[in-house]
A and B are shown apart, each in its own frame.
Chain A
């Protein structure tokens, strides 16, 4: 990295201010990631807790004398009573709805009084807790109690099982099915052997086949524009640059027609085959680099009897590994992240890429199980971040090049 140009600030206060600013901005930029991970590790009910917390908790309380995992349903804010009705049911009621003199209670403000026995008075600050259902949408009657905060034990409990649950359900299985609480049933029309691995395999296919094509073809093409002289070269290159301005929506409809005529709709082909035919941006990037390689190297090889292919393959490509890595990374990133094209061309769930599967997962769940949506998102994001950490110097160099004038 070149030395920074700004001179060392003489004032310590100014330096401190820069660090403080950088530090707080860094926190601000990282917070969404932390929130994604925190949510992914929470229980469903904790995603809907207020105030929200970055720490995933589990709560335990004695129910009928047995330490049980519970959900804190509500904090008692007004004086209340716990009563037993004639049929034996317990109710938690506002204190005003219980009349101690007649030993009767009204279940709502306008309901008729009915006999009730006072169990105890409940002070504000206590919690109503409910037994945590064993499964996501269990309808069995749940035990509950009202307890002082001091007898509710909270422990930090990241729920890593959310990840396996999200991966199992993104394939189309229901949560109940995964947890084994209902007999395995499948909604009609769902492809039964589709799993998370199907989507991962599709995505990797599109990414890797595309990367191989993009690196090889763009290098070949850029070589023609950078190192060869031929009639019409500059004219075609000008057209190439101009096509970078064409917005995808202009191509969308006719491309769909082209792929339909080829019989490629519903397959992965439209997502990686075009990479083998070059892209303007990568051609430009590689051409800029190839032009910096001294012409003498090509001349020497030519004198040694090499033809253009041999010069390309044995002289230019070995010298261009860093920029080829940039093209490979950019294409991989693009293919992994692309949403609109797969949304257009993929019609069957069995061909979905992760990006489309993730969106589909949101729709099929009505967008509410945030812990599972965030777990699935984290799974889609993590490989890209890991890849970035191992390759960031290529990334930074590659992006920096794109902004430089040619």
Chain B
């Protein structure tokens, strides 16, 4: 390209991209940079930030609630991400069979994922109710066989997180649709070839399906992980609209404690340090997953 044409193309490109250049700078890059800067400051939004070096990070290392919120969040992610993967992939595999009414089933399984999280949290809070809840009504006769009593779920520190994991499995419709699309892209010939070689359904799944959809598994796992590490609303609702992480701080998740520091305690520098630790954690986990995936994920051309 000659220089005038080059200048013209740059002008046109920048003109079309201009909303994003503004948006990217103002609503993403500037906040990211400022967040890093605040993390080294004592800052309460009411007064100007004061540089305090690594103090925020140092104080975090001895903050029990910080560690508790990190543990709670990792616990939640460690169970909800794999459970979500198993549920959504199983549903997708079922829907990938040649059955009548596939569209109807697909709609039913997808529906929960579009329910506003605030409404679904409220609904499950009611379903998990230890006294009048539907779930315990269903579980009681079953557990009676073993002489056990159902837990009181969201009122019991030991059962609140498992309850939230169960609840999250209900809303995996998005992931299911992505798996389904992945399954439908697997070339039919591969299954036929495997069948001719004498592979049964399980070996076909293991040796054909899984490698073929591995990029989708990789994508869904990363997205699921990033989402799970930011879990907030469910805990906020079951704590009655507070950041207490009830019951007994068992649902004091990372984002909840961060929110509490930033907007209730106005420790915005401290919260920014937490935010950057989360960011680095997400980047590290994504990098780790990519490393693992490099060996196992199979991209077909």
For chain A residues 189-225, which have a beta carbon within 8 Å of chain B?
A: 217, 220-221, 223-225
Q: Which one of A78-86, A107-115, A379-387 is at the interface?
A: A379-387
5 A-B residue pairs with CB within 8 Å: A35-B134, A243-B32, A253-B271, A276-B23, A399-B178
Among residues of A, the one whose C-beta sits closest to the C-beta of B104 is A26
B124 interface hit (Cβ, 8 Å): yes
Q: Interface code A148-175, partner B: CB below 8 Å = 1, 0 otherwise? A: 0000000000000000000000000000
Inter-chain contacts of B129 with A (CB < 8 A): 370
Q: Interface code B231-246, partner A: CB below 8 Å = 1, 0 otherwise? A: 0110011001100000
Beta-carbon contact of B98 and A274 below 8 Å: no
A121 interface hit (Cβ, 8 Å): no
Q: Which one of B12-20, B57-65, B77-85, B145-153 is at the interface?
A: B12-20
Q: Which of A8, A308, A359 contacts B16 (CB 8 A)?
A: A308
Count of inter-chain pairs, beta carbons less than 8 A: 305
Beta-carbon contact of B108 and A221 below 8 Å: no
Beta-carbon contact of B123 and A258 below 8 Å: no
A403 to B179, CA, bound (A): 8
Among residues of B, the one whose C-beta sits closest to the C-beta of A355 is B118
Q: Which of B20, B35, B96, B177 contacts A250 (CB 8 A)?
A: B35
Q: Which of B29, B126, B274 contacts A249 (CB 8 A)?
A: B274
For chain A residues 342-362, which have a beta carbon within 8 Å of chain B?
A: 343-344, 354-356, 358-360, 362
Beta-carbon contact of B112 and A29 below 8 Å: yes
Beta-carbon contact of B279 and A247 below 8 Å: yes
Q: Which of B26, B109, B117, B134 contacts A26 (CB 8 A)?
A: B109
Tell me, rounded to whole Å, the shortest Cβ–Cβ distance linking B96 to chain A. 6
Inter-chain contacts of B219 with A (CB < 8 A): 403
Inter-chain contacts of B30 with A (CB < 8 A): 254, 258
Q: Interface code A39-56, partner B: CB below 8 Å = 1, 0 otherwise? A: 100000001111110000
A402 interface hit (Cβ, 8 Å): yes
Tell me, rounded to whole Å, the shortest Cβ–Cβ distance linking B169 to chain A. 10
B164 interface hit (Cβ, 8 Å): no
Beta-carbon contact of B275 and A252 below 8 Å: yes
Tell me, rounded to whole Å, the shortest Cβ–Cβ distance linking A284 to chain B. 12
Q: Interface code A366-406, partner B: CB below 8 Å = 1, 0 otherwise? A: 11001001100100110011001100100110011111110
Beta-carbon contact of A250 and B123 below 8 Å: no
A9 interface hit (Cβ, 8 Å): yes
A256 to B263, CA, bound (A): 10
Among residues of B, the one whose C-beta sits closest to the C-beta of A405 is B215
Beta-carbon contact of B45 and A256 below 8 Å: yes
Q: Which one of A97-105, A131-139, A296-304, A331-339 is at the interface?
A: A331-339
Inter-chain contacts of A15 with B (CB < 8 A): 99
Q: Interface code B102-121, partner A: CB below 8 Å = 1, 0 otherwise? A: 11011111111011111110
Q: Do A4 and B98 contact each other (CB < 8 Å), given the known contacts A220-B16, A240-B24, A254-B38?
A: yes
Beta-carbon contact of A243 and B126 below 8 Å: no
Q: Which of A1, A8, A250 contacts B279 (CB 8 A)?
A: A250
B6 interface hit (Cβ, 8 Å): yes
Beta-carbon contact of A380 and B97 below 8 Å: no
Among residues of B, the one whose C-beta sits closest to the C-beta of A276 is B19
The contact size tier of chain A is 35 or more
For chain A residues 43-78, which have a beta carbon within 8 Å of chain B?
A: 47-52
B86 interface hit (Cβ, 8 Å): no
Inter-chain contacts of A358 with B (CB < 8 A): 116, 118-119, 122
For chain A residues 1-41, which have a beta carbon within 8 Å of chain B?
A: 1-2, 4-9, 15, 18-19, 21-22, 25-26, 29-33, 35-36, 39
A33 to B38, CA, bound (A): 44
A163 to B11, CA, bound (A): 56
Among residues of A, the one whose C-beta sits closest to the C-beta of B180 is A400
Tell me, rounded to whole Å, the shortest Cβ–Cβ distance linking A221 to chain B. 4
B163 interface hit (Cβ, 8 Å): no
For chain B residues 52-79, which have a beta carbon within 8 Å of chain A?
A: none
Inter-chain contacts of A33 with B (CB < 8 A): 111-112
Inter-chain contacts of A5 with B (CB < 8 A): 96, 183-184, 186, 188, 191
Q: Do A388 and B111 contact each other (CB < 8 Å), given the known contacts A8-B98, A52-B132, A245-B226?
A: yes
A257 interface hit (Cβ, 8 Å): yes
Q: Which one of A87-95, A179-187, A231-239 is at the interface?
A: A231-239
Beta-carbon contact of A277 and B275 below 8 Å: no
A283 interface hit (Cβ, 8 Å): yes
Among residues of A, the one whose C-beta sits closest to the C-beta of B34 is A254
Among residues of A, the one whose C-beta sits closest to the C-beta of B215 is A405
Tell me, rounded to whole Å, the shortest Cβ–Cβ distance linking B283 to chain A. 7
B165 interface hit (Cβ, 8 Å): no
Q: Which of B32, B97, B126 contacts A374 (CB 8 A)?
A: B126
Beta-carbon contact of A221 and B268 below 8 Å: no
Beta-carbon contact of A253 and B178 below 8 Å: no
A142 interface hit (Cβ, 8 Å): no
B272 interface hit (Cβ, 8 Å): yes
A312 interface hit (Cβ, 8 Å): yes
Inter-chain contacts of B124 with A (CB < 8 A): 32
